[in-house]
């Protein structure tokens, strides 16, 4: 069945014979805030220096990449944090979940089907923790976390403690204490660390900031503090890795490192808040038991896959709850590009109805991505394999594919949000919370 045997429990407690079931794996999910696709000194594409940061030094995430798989085409579920994080927790697109803006609280999925609740239902031995950013009215406890910082309602995580800029080191200390307790008690665990870094305003340790003195100011004048804040976050990643080693559980722990949404890259089109590749594509590195070391995977994946992946790694033959739209990365972690991923829907879908001049949705199937404006019905089609900068609109050259993808996208959003929401989108009526916060993709 889907529940762990006594022998598995005994094995974790160290009282079973070696031949019995191995210990259940632990999971550490590190979620950066607003980190652009090339925000690390780790190349997201093999041999491509444009896919890494030229200014920031992140040696610990590089060590993680050396031990695991770096995903070259990893996507956030949404270009802003709240909706993206809701999608991760529930394993669904934001439209199917009805988490289309930060003000929406009536999600179309029961809290019982959240990632931590689902994991604990399948494997009751697990304990779960969440530390850091949590901005919804639903509590972490309702979503299955045994220990958390509660509803922080802190968008930026700014800290007045010079020894704990952006609260990064405090989150890391609480993580260590939780892991130590689980090892002592013999529990496997799932832990999500929702760091506030690297969300502006930048904060960093004074000694880290000194390393970046003289770095040009950039458009916002804070390149040095941003680079230092990124390195401090990387230092925390290193601390977590060392703690896993010290606790003797490193070989049985999966580490997932990802960002909640993208940002300005200088390479990809757009940035945070819109559906260009810059706003959606994010760094993703996974290491752990059975994961191929020093490997790149170019197969597109998305953050709402994480729920299905964690459940598959912890309880391999147990299907996720009905309505889960993500797929498991198990094969990709083992075989890289030779692996496959299966989702209940064969498409990636994004929806951004607020904070843009025109409500927008996007769909990706294979190498093609279509962007659609609801009120103007403007449409663009890009071949991302040839045009990651989204500079060449192919919609007029490929009218049949354009029509097919547009129809599938509209049907997907309609199924999730309903006819009245579609009518509102098409009417051009200003959506709640709508304001222009970031430039849109060109021509959209």
- Residue 198, preceding peptide bond in cis (omega within 30° of 0): yes
Rounded CA separation 117/111 (Å): 8
CA-CA distances (angstroms) from residue 26 to 59, 143, 189, 279?
23, 18, 5, 30
- H-helix or E-strand spanning residue 179: helix 168-185
CA distance 88 to 107: 13
Q: Is the C-alpha dihedral spanning 130, 310, 416, 350 positive or negative?
A: positive
Q: How far apart are CA 333 and CA 225, in angstroms?
A: 34
DSSP secondary-structure letter at 202?
P
- Whole-angstrom CA distances from 199 to 259, 260, 415 are 11, 11, 33
Residues 91 and 68: their CA atoms lie apart, in Å, by: 23
Could you give the 3-state DSSP secondary structure of residue 131? Answer: strand
Cα–Cα distance measured from residue 248 to residue 51, given in angstroms and rounded to the nearest whole number = 34
pLDDT at position 430: 54
Block residue for tokens 């896959």:
305
pLDDT given for residue 110 in this prediction: 92
Residue 83 near residue 99 (C-beta atoms within 8 A): yes
Q: Which residue has the tokens 């960002």?
A: 259
What H or E segment, with its residue span, contains residue 321?
none
- Positions in the chain whose pLDDT score sits under 50: 1-20, 433-444
Residue 189 — φ and ψ, nearest 5°?
-145, 155
Q: For position 318, what pLDDT does the model report?
A: 87
């Amino acid at each position: 069945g889907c529940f762990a045997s006594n022998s598995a429990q005994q094995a974790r407690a160290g009282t079973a014979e070696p031949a019995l079931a191995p210990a259940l794996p632990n999971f550490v999910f590190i979620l950066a805030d607003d980190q652009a696709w090339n925000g690390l000194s780790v190349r997201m594409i093999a041999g491509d220096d444009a896919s890494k940061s030229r200014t920031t030094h992140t040696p610990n995430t590089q060590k993680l990449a050396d031990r695991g798989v770096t995903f070259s085409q990893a996507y956030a579920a949404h270009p802003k944090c709240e909706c993206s994080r809701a999608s991760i927790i529930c394993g669904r697109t934001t439209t199917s979940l009805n988490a289309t803006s930060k003000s929406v609280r009536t999600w179309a999925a029961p809290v019982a089907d959240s990632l931590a609740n689902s994991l604990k239902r399948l494997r009751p031995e697990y304990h779960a923790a969440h530390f850091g950013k949590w901005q919804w009215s639903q509590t972490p406890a309702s979503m299955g976390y045994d220990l958390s910082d509660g509803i922080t309602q802190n968008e930026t995580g700014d800290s007045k403690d010079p020894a704990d800029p952006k609260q990064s080191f405090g989150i890391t200390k609480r993580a260590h204490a939780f892991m130590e307790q689980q090892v002592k008690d013999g529990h496997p665990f799932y832990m999500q660390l929702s760091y506030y870094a690297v969300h502006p305003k930048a904060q960093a340790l004074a000694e880290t900031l000194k390393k970046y003195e003289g770095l040009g100011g950039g458009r916002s004048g804070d390149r040095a503090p941003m680079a230092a804040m990124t390195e401090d976050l990387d230092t925390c990643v290193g601390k977590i890795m060392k703690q896993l080693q010290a606790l003797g559980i490193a070989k049985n722990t999966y580490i997932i490192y990802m960002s909640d949404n993208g940002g300005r890259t200088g390479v990809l089109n757009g940035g945070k808040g819109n559906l260009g590749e810059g706003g959606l594509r994010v760094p993703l590195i996974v290491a752990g038991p059975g994961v191929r070391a020093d490997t790149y995977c170019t197969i597109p994946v998305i953050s709402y896959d994480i729920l299905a992946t964690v459940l598959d790694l912890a309880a391999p033959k147990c299907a996720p709850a009905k309505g889960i739209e993500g797929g498991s990365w198990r094969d990709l972690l083992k075989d890289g590009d030779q692996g496959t991923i299966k989702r209940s829907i064969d498409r990636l879908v994004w929806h951004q109805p607020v904070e843009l001049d025109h409500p927008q949705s996007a769909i990706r199937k294979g190498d093609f991505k279509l962007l659609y404006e609801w009120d103007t019905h403007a449409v663009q089609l890009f071949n991302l394999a040839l045009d990651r900068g989204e500079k060449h609109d192919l919609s007029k050259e490929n009218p049949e594919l354009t029509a097919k993808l547009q129809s599938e996208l509209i049907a997907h959003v309609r199924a999730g949000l309903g006819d009245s929401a579609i009518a509102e989108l098409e009417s051009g009526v200003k959506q709640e919370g709508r304001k222009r916060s970031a430039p849109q993709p060109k021509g959209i």
